[in-house]
Amino acid sequence: MNNIPLVIASSNEGKIKEFQKLLQDFPFNLKTQPLGLEIDETGKTFRENARIKAITVSKEIGDLSLADDSGLCVESLGGAPGVYSSRYANSDKERIEKLLAELQPFTNRKAKFECALCVASGENVLIEVTGFCEGLITFSPKGKNGFGYDPVFEVSGFGETFAQMNYKKKKQIGHRGNAFKLLKPELKKLLTSLAD
């Protein structure tokens, strides 16, 4: 029985669909956040931003809320673009061009994607997990799949970029998939405690 309301704190349709698929075996009645609710992502870390989103939405609706925040951290750039990944430039194409230009002087091209997930009930943070995926920034874009920085992120040990992989493979080894692997057992524990 899907009887526990859980609000997905996102207005991004792609993300909402991904969450719906990942949570399909759980007894949640999934809801989406109210239209027009603007949340300032003022955190300095992905974890802080996920918290801000989950708490704001849960307080607004009065149900449990699940939020994520993710981005790319490049070692030679001191962790940039980091929490500014989506605000680094105006389009995916421009973001990639800027990243490759800024990295040009460096030989160290190590980078990692990070995804923080947070479940909150009002002000209370019930679950926090973070998933990672390590790799290297390529010298030029490769592949057509995915979105964002996928064409220039070559996954460690795989020799291909996220954009050269199909969705299933990216989900298995990617930062978001890794965060979900950590979230699932925590959600099971939470459901047990709610049933007590």
Number of residues forming the site for ligand IMP (CB under 6 A):
15
Q: Which of 71, 131, 141, 177 binds ligand IMP (CB under 6 A)?
A: 71
Q: Record the tokens describing residue 85, joined without a space.
A: 């990944």
Alpha carbons within 13 A on the beta-carbon side of 103: 25
User: Is 45 a binder of ligand IMP (CB under 6 A)?
Assistant: no
Does residue number 162 form part of the binding site for ligand IMP (CB under 6 A)?
yes
Q: Which stretch binds ligand IMP (CB under 6 A): 31-39, 67-75, 137-145, 178-186?
A: 67-75
Using the structure block, give the residue that is written with the tokens 């057992």. Answer: 185
x-marked contacts with ligand IMP along 171-190 as a string, rule CB under 6 A: ---x----------------
Of the listed 68, 69, 92, 150, which one is catalytic? 69
What minimum distance in Å lies between the beta carbon of 27 and ligand IMP? 26
Beta bridge partner(s), residue 118: 67, 128
DSSP 46-59: HHHHHHHHHHHHHH
- Can you tell me the distance from the alpha carbon of 160 to that of 170, in angstroms, rounded to the nearest whole number? 11
Q: How far is the CB of 66 from ligand IMP (least distance, A)?
A: 13
What are the backbone dihedrals phi and psi of residue 132, each rounded to the nearest 5 degrees, phi first?
-125, 160
Contact 111, 75 (CB under 8 A): yes
Check residue 139 for interaction with ligand IMP (CB under 6 A): no
- Residue whose entry in the numeric block shows the structure tokens 């349709």: 13
Active-site residue, 150 included: no
Binding span for ligand IMP by CB under 6 A among 20-28, 59-67, 122-130, 142-150: 142-150
Q: Tell me: does residue 19 bind ligand IMP (CB under 6 A).
A: no
Torsion of CA 137, 142, 144, 150, to 10 degrees: 0
Given the rule CB under 6 A, which residues bind ligand IMP?
68-72, 85-86, 113, 146-150, 162, 174
Active site residues: 69
